[in-house]
Structure 1
């Protein structure tokens, strides 16, 4: 999916919602566990309930590979079920060099056919470049994350006096562009989103941390939105686990619709 197609979907749905499919067998309704593929059935019902409001789905790969071969099967079935006009993100956080990086790219872009993958940049250009060689596929580079330990490295000043995440943003623009590279920018660092947007004015941001982690959707839009929206705001637990019982899909739909309505207002205000 290219940038124009993604923006068209955002405008059509008045939404920049990404639903994270972090599906944990211990948290899904027990009634599903008797089925042959409970993970896929849970995901299927979540997708059916939220596809009207979501422009992207983001399976966190760890939840699937932890289950071994069956988990990978559930992941592929889930990916195949997602409507073709909805953007897909492999939240895999890969980052290696040479042939290894190239094979990761082939696995997620060719074999599985994801639209994008999250990549760690700290081994440099040769860990990222193989992912950028696929047409209409995207690298989503970790830039400024929302986890507690992010300050261990990302905020350290380099020799130039800039925080390390500034260096990542500036250097990586030589590797890719706004048509094949996005950045992970955590919602819980609202005051820093404006800094990131100044350095990369045209790129999309994947923004985790809204909802269960306490990030502000209003702040994200105020500081991060650009003329083509430029945001994919992810909610995982806040949507998929909104309900605990057999009405989980209905509860998920309600939460997704609530976020979409807030996003429609923000798009009208900031994306002109």
Structure 2
């Protein structure tokens, strides 16, 4: 899926919502524990309930890897289901990989060849040769961690160069543009850092930004749109817990649908205000 196709889906669904499939076996409704694959059963119902309002899904690999081989099977079934029933929905592996070149090549193969994700999140700390192997897949995307929403972001990401005053996350944004383009590279920017989005847009005006942290983490959708939206929207705003755990009872899918629809309706207003609909 290229940038124009992604923007087309945003216009069609009047939404730039990404639903995080952070499926915790300890939090899913108890009645699903009687199924042969509780995690996949949960994901399938969440997907069917929210797909109308969603342009992307983002499974966080930790929730699946923590279950060992059966978790990987659940993930593979989830990916296969999405690709077969909802082929126009953008699929992100939230894996935060980053290693030396030959290892990164194998990570890229795992997510793009074996599991058919559209994008994978990558940590840029080890530099160009840890990122470029993911970019050999011409129809896929790399989503680089730039400015994250967690408290620990201040440990490193805001360190300033003594001569230029440039912060580390700004260096990541600038240097990485030598590696890819706005057609194969996005950036993670946390919604809790929404005030920085204007500065980020000065550096990367045309790239898509994956924005976690809206909802349970306290980020403001309105502030994100105000400071980060560009001429092709340029935003995928993620919500995980606020949607998939809207209920832990038998009505969990119904409540997830309602939560996704509420966000989509807010996004429709913001897209109209931005002249994109």
Name the TM-score, length of structure 1 as normaliser. Answer: 0.99
Instruction: Supply the distance in 1 between the matched residues of 2:193 and 2:235 (Cα, whole angstroms).
Output: 15
Does the 8 Å CA contact 1:206/1:231 hold for their aligned counterparts?
yes
SS in 2 for 1:84: coil
Does the 8 Å CA contact 1:205/1:230 hold for their aligned counterparts?
yes
Q: Does 1:151 align with 2:149?
A: no
Task: Please name the residue that 1:268 is paired with.
Answer: 272
Counterparts of 1:86-235 in structure 2, within 5 Å, are 86-159=89-162, 160-235=164-239
Does the 8 Å CA contact 1:155/1:163 hold for their aligned counterparts?
yes
> Structure 2: where are the runs of 5+ without partners?
none
Instruction: Supply the distance in 2 between the matched residues of 1:71 and 1:254 (Cα, whole angstroms).
Output: 27
Deviating beyond 6 angstroms after TM superposition, the runs of 4 or more aligned structure 1 residues are none
Task: Please name the residue that 2:44 is paired with.
Answer: 44
SS in 1 for 2:92: strand
Instruction: Supply the distance in 2 between the matched residues of 1:191 and 1:235 (Cα, whole angstroms).
Output: 19
Does the 8 Å CA contact 1:109/1:115 hold for their aligned counterparts?
yes
Does the 8 Å CA contact 1:226/1:271 hold for their aligned counterparts?
no
SS in 1 for 2:192: coil
Q: CA RMSD in A?
A: 0.7
Aligned residues: 272
Instruction: Supply the distance in 2 between the matched residues of 1:52 and 1:176 (Cα, whole angstroms).
Output: 31
SS in 2 for 1:183: strand
Quote the offset at 1:271 in angstroms. 4.3
> Structure 1: where are the runs of 5+ without partners?
none
Name the TM-score, length of structure 2 as normaliser. Answer: 0.97
Instruction: Supply the distance in 1 between the matched residues of 2:101 and 2:135 (Cα, whole angstroms).
Output: 13
